[in-house]
Amino acid sequence: MDKKCNALLQIIILQILVTVIFGCQSAVTESASKPVEPQKEVDSENKTAAKKIEPKKEVDNGDESELNDILADFMEMNDKPYLHDTLLMIDKDSFIVSIKHLQIYEDTIVVPKKYVEMYKLESFSTFAFKTSVTIKKNGKVIMQRNILKDDFQQYLDPSLKSYAVLLYPYVVTRQGHIEIHHSISIPLTDVGIGVSTTIDKNGNVEFMRN
């Protein structure tokens, strides 16, 4: 009985092996008989690496609106002087710093195209500015003078000497001194430097770059 079972089992295994072997050969033959299609070339325009990034020929609407706002703000600053009084306490002394920032109409500045072409301007004409300062200590005037761009000549490069103006005054105190800060920059640009006028409690003045 055992011999018959073993013989039957061997026959079944042999049939399975024959089926597997012929099935694999058939699959290989079918695969080999299929023609190999040539690989399609990818269009170079669709390759990310092949794409050329073109420069923007026009300013985006958002950028253009921001530029228009900058231009409008500067023109408004041209039209009216900036006046400001600041009350400060240094130790036991009170100081009133009065500033008036205004144009010098006798001194014209013409900013060339390379600085303002983003505004679609060939050039931009404006005037130099000055800040008139009066400082009172306990009600008595200890300083009265104009602050000009020329006071900072030693810190200016040729472009700032030619095209920059004195802008944006503000007053602070530091280490017992009064400081009046300005930007000397080319109008409508961010090309410039920060400067400060330092005044001690006796009205002595020093001009510095920030």
CA distance 86 to 102: 18
CA distances from 156 to 126, 179, 182, 209 (A): 19, 20, 13, 10
The helix or strand, by DSSP H or E, that contains position 89, with its residue range, turns out to be strand 82-90
Rounded-to-integer distance, Cα 194 and Cα 167, Å: 10
For 137-184, write each residue's pLDDT tens digit: 999 999 999 999 999 999 999 999 999 999 999 999 999 999 999 999
Please provide the size of the chain in residues.
210
Both tokens assigned to 95: 């100081």
> For domain 82-102+129-209, which architecture applies?
Beta Barrel (2.40)
In this prediction, residue 96 carries a pLDDT of: 98
Q: What pLDDT shows up at residue 3?
A: 52
C-alpha to C-alpha distance for 150 and 152, rounded to whole angstroms? 5
pLDDT at residue 68, rounded to an integer:
82
pLDDT, position 43: 40
Beta bridge partners of 193: 184
Alpha helices in the chain (DSSP H): 2-33, 61-79, 113-116, 158-163
Q: Note the pLDDT of residue 27.
A: 46
What is d(CA 74, CA 68) in angstroms, rounded to the nearest whole number?
A: 10
Which of 175, 81, 172 has its CA nearest to residue 131?
Answer: 81
Per cent of the chain over pLDDT 70 is 70
Q: Do residues 175 and 192 lie in contact, with contact meaning Cβ atoms separated by under 8 Å? A: no
Q: What pTM did the predictor assign?
A: 0.67
Residues of the chain with pLDDT under 50: 18, 20, 22, 24, 26-61
Q: Burial letters for 59-70: b for 16+ Cβ neighbours within 10 Å, e otherwise?
A: eeeeeeeebeee
For residue 1, what are the CA distances in angstroms to 4, 6, 15?
A: 5, 9, 22
